[in-house]
């Protein structure tokens, strides 16, 4: 049996355990920085393999270090990252491994990511003697919303790491396909809060008030022109106002109106420009209409930018796994979603790629963050194989 066939058969053997673990995690979802049970399972499994394990990084993060038996001084270290957190969504799937926690659900596939990375650790650990370098398995908390990557880096997770790889399972991407692309893949994400201050009063006497609702309405409309009039059609970007809150009754002009929204961009300089223009437009309009506007931009996550060398390594691994025709480097691989894998990719050269899980026949065709989101578990061994091959190739 060739080395390549041996790898495939080793992975096949792990599939029942991977599926069982993924379903177990699915039944017990934990939100950002609360991944106590999940990280406990990760720690226990990594320790059983004999890896050096660090716990409590960024609260619930875990790092396992596998030292290759064929490492010489100066040998390289590759990190492989998986996120572990679930979402505050009530699951509507009727499956026997449905979430057991009301209002919490693995609706983004991070249960699959965790299961995949533990299988990769197992496979590489069995090849420890022949590995000419080290592998760091990085299990990150809080990818959704708050961000666990940045504090993990701050606490040293990327020290002595030469490259990083990771994947996201994608439900609207066909099963059997792997998308890997150099440059920017996922967008940046910044949340903005605009608080318009006017002057409250009686709704029947607007001349004695400054109406913050009317000011907010103008701001929402003007923000649309940042994308349509100030942004190149060749530079994709999004500004969405997702929430407006103002007023208590039909006959009162309120004091304030608050808007919240998100900004997505694919380039750092573009991201900065959008942030700046939102502030200028909001304050300019508010001032022109006699009010003021407080501008806050928070929760920033940079775009995911893949290194060309690391992308080549992953691309080669993907071709060996699913064949040339099912490896995609087109713009289809890009998404306006964000992922704080971006922080790791800023810290060290890396490649973040996507693995398709879409299969209508199995009901795995709902979008991410949907109460009926699910994956075709046949994608799990594909993820394992690409990551394993890429790590071995990097350390060769």
Task: List interacting residues with Zn ion (CB under 5 A).
Answer: 108
Q: In terms of CB distance, is 184 or 231 closer to Zn ion?
A: 184
The single residue listed with the structure tokens 């790590």 is: 391
Closest distance of CB 46 from Zn ion, Å: 22
- To Zn ion, the closest distance from the beta carbon of 144 in angstroms equals 5
Structure tokens at 6: 């041996």
Closest CB to Zn ion among residues 108, 351 = 108
CB of 329 to Zn ion, least distance (A): 21
Cβ atoms of 60 and 39 closer than 8 Å: yes
User: What are the two backbone dihedrals, phi and then psi, of residue 53, each rounded to the nearest 5 degrees?
Assistant: -120, 130
With 0-12 / 13-18 / 19 or more C-beta atoms within 10 angstroms meaning exposed / middle / buried, residue 15 is middle
Instruction: Using CB positions, name the residue nearest to Zn ion.
Output: 108
Give backbone dihedrals phi and psi of 249, rounded to 5 degrees, phi first.
Answer: -155, 160
Q: CB nearer to Zn ion: give 142 or 257.
A: 142
- DSSP category for residue 155: T
The answer to whether the beta carbons of residues 134 and 71 sit under 8 Å apart is yes
Task: Provide the token pair at 122.
Answer: 């197992």
Least separation in angstroms between residue 285's CB and Zn ion is 33
Give whichever of 168 and 389 is closer to Zn ion, judged by the CB atom. 168
Instruction: Measure the CA dihedral 367/372/377/378, to 10°.
Output: -60
Residue closer to Zn ion, measured from CB, 226 or 341: 341
Name which of 271, 207, 213 is nearest 239 in CA terms. Answer: 271
* Nearer CB in complex with Zn ion: 218/366: 366
Minimal distance in Å, beta carbon 107 to Zn ion?
A: 7
The nearest distance, CB 87 to Zn ion, in angstroms, is 7
Q: How far is the CB of 304 from Zn ion (least distance, A)?
A: 12
Specify the 3-state DSSP secondary structure of 379. Answer: helix
Between residues 170 and 241, which has the closer beta carbon with respect to Zn ion? 170
If the CB atoms of residues 108 and 153 are measured against Zn ion, the closer one turns out to be 108
Pairing of strands 256-265, 77-83: unpaired
> Do the Cβ atoms of 38 and 142 come closer than 8 Å?
no
| Least distance from Zn ion to the Cβ atom of residue 379, Å | 14
């Amino acid at each position: 049996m060739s080395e390549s066939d041996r790898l495939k058969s080793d992975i096949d053997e792990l599939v029942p355990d991977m599926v069982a673990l993924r379903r177990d995690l699915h039944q017990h979802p934990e939100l950002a920085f609360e991944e106590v049970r999940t990280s406990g399972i990760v720690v226990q499994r990594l320790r059983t393999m004999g890896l050096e394990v660090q716990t409590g990084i960024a609260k619930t993060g875990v790092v396992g270090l596998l030292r290759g038996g064929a490492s010489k001084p100066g040998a390289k270290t590759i990190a492989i990252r998986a996120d572990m957190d679930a979402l505050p969504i009530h699951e509507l799937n009727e499956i026997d491994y449905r979430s057991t926690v009301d209002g919490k659900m693995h609706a983004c596939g991070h249960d699959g990511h965790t299961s995949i990375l533990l299988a990769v650790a197992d496979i590489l650990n069995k090849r420890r003697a022949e590995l000419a370098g080290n592998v760091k398995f990085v299990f990150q908390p809080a990818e959704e919303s708050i961000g666990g990557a940045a504090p993990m880096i701050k606490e040293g997770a990327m020290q002595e790491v030469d490259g990083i790889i990771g994947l996201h399972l994608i439900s609207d991407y066909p099963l059997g396909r792997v998308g890997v692309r150099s440059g920017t893949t996922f967008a940046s994400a910044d949340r903005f809060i605009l608080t318009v201050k006017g002057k409250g009063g009686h709704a029947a006497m607007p001349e004695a008030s400054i109406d913050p609702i009317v000011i907010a309405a103008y701001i929402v409309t003007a923000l649309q022109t940042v994308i349509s009039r100030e942004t190149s059609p060749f530079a994709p970007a999004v500004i969405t106002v997702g929430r407006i809150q103002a007023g208590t009754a039909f006959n009162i002009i309120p004091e304030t109106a608050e808007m919240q929204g998100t900004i997505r961009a694919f380039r750092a300089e573009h991201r900065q420009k959008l942030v700046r223009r939102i502030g200028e437009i909001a304050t300019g309009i508010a001032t022109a209409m006699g009010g003021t506007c407080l501008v806050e931009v928070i929760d920033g996550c940079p775009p995911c930018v893949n290194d060309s060398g690391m992308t080549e390594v992953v691309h080669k691994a993907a071709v060996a796994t699913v064949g040339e025709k099912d490896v995609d480097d087109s713009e289809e691989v890009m998404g306006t979603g964000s992922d704080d894998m971006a922080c790791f990719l800023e810290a060290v050269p890396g490649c973040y790629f996507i693995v398709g899980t879409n299969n209508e026949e199995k009901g795995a065709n709902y979008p991410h963050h949907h109460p009926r989101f699910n994956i075709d578990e046949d994608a799990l061994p594909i993820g394992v194989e690409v990551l394993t091959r890429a790590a071995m190739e990097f350390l060769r």
